[in-house]
Structure 1
Amino acid sequence: MTKAMKPVRSLARVLMSGIFVASGIRQLRNPEHFTEHAKPVTDHITSLLERTGGPVPGNAETLVRTNGAVHVVGGLLLATGHLTRPASLMLAASLVPTTAAGHPFWTYDDPAARTNHQVHFMKNLGLIGGLLLAAADTQGRPSLRWRAGHRIGHSRRSVQRAVRTARRETRLAVRTAAAARRLPG
């Protein structure tokens, strides 16, 4: 990783995380404000969970608070550079229902309200894109896939060297034994 990229990554993470920490705190402090907009999405999520047999949260307010906690924790992890890849994925996943609940621009008849929500919807899509980039960023280090492949290749070469050495040692032992049998006495 180049030294110039580290401050850029850090600044980008802090800038991206700010909106999540701020909105998460608002959701935790005043979930009632968000519950009305979230209700159609939370009802849908609850019915999906009921059908799959998963644990079902109590109500829309509980889901709003949970989403707020995810935003605060994920935003702080992203800002501090700890567990940035899982935090980015967690935030991106939580932003999908948040965007659908908070900015359903297609339901508005008023052109000004429709445009406003469409802008916020597109902004959230941009945030999801940035979060996916952050989730894929290995910070200049080789990816897990590359490291695993490299380790497998290294192990394969080590085994091949050991096999060649064993064959060479075997041939040497056979020659030595044959030479010893030919010696008189």
Structure 2
Amino acid sequence: MDVVALIGRILFASLFLGSAFGHLSQAAAMTGYASSKGVPQAKIAVLGSGVLILVGGLLVLLGLWMDLGALLLVVFLVPTAVLMHPFWKETDAMAKQTEMIQFQKDIALAGAALLLFALYAGFGARLGITITDPLF
């Protein structure tokens, strides 16, 4: 099961590491998109969230205080769902559906990160191949 847990962490973390790369390497384009959604201090938000998901993703991937990494990802995902995908504001049916799917994806990933937090906090290093025990 250790290898299965490691593979799951790799798959889960890869989404956030790829997104972090996009936040940091395409900051100008992402800042424009965040600004169009009404995100305050969009450039700082894009760069800050890029660092947040980079650190969270790496902690989960490496099994280094994985519980902290999972919580950092939740801190990114929930505000992102609300600020970037407010489907309730859309009037066009297609745009509303697209934003609802993205909103639900972010909330589901936040749930998965919370589950990872709870499992790791409860089982610690017995959950899979890790570098450290839980921080919390």
- TM-score, normalisation: structure 2: 0.80
Q: What amino acid is aligned across from residue 15 of structure 2 in structure 1?
A: I
Within 5 Å, give how 1:1-185 maps onto structure 2.
4=1, 6-39=2-35, 42-43=39-40, 59-138=41-120, 140-141=123-124
Q: Evaluate the alpha carbon distance shift between residue 61 and residue 81 of structure 1 in structure 2; reply closer, same or farther with a 3 A threshold.
A: same
Percent identity, aligned pairs only?
A: 29
> How many residue pairs end up in the alignment?
123
Could you say if the C-alpha distance between residues 100 and 38 of structure 1 is closer, same or farther in structure 2, counting changes exceeding 3 Å?
farther
C-alpha contact 2:31 2:46 (8 A) present in aligned 1: yes
1:140 aligned counterpart, secondary structure: helix
Note if contact 1:37-1:101 (Cα within 8 Å) is conserved in structure 2.
no
* Alpha-carbon distance, 1:83 to partner: 1.1
Q: Which has the higher contact order (CA 8 A, sep 6+)?
A: 2
Q: 3-state SS of the aligned residue for 2:123?
A: coil
1:102 CA drift (Å) = 2.1
Aligned partners of 2:59 and 2:68 also within 8 Å: no
Change (3 A) 1:12 1:41: farther
Q: Contact (CA 8 Å) 2:20, 2:50: kept in 1 or not? A: yes
Decide whether aligned partners of structure 1 residues 141 and 76 sit closer, same or farther in structure 2, where only a CA change above 3 A counts.
closer
- Tell me the TM-score normalized by structure 1: 0.60
Distance 1:123 1:7 in 2: 26
The separation in 2 between residues aligned to 1:114 and 1:41, in whole angstroms, is 17
Task: Give 5+ residue unaligned stretches, structure 2.
Answer: 126-136
Aligned-partner Cα distance in 1 for 2:44–2:102: 24
CA–CA distance in structure 1, aligned partners of residues 85 and 108 of structure 2: 14
The alignment partner of 1:109 has SS state of: coil
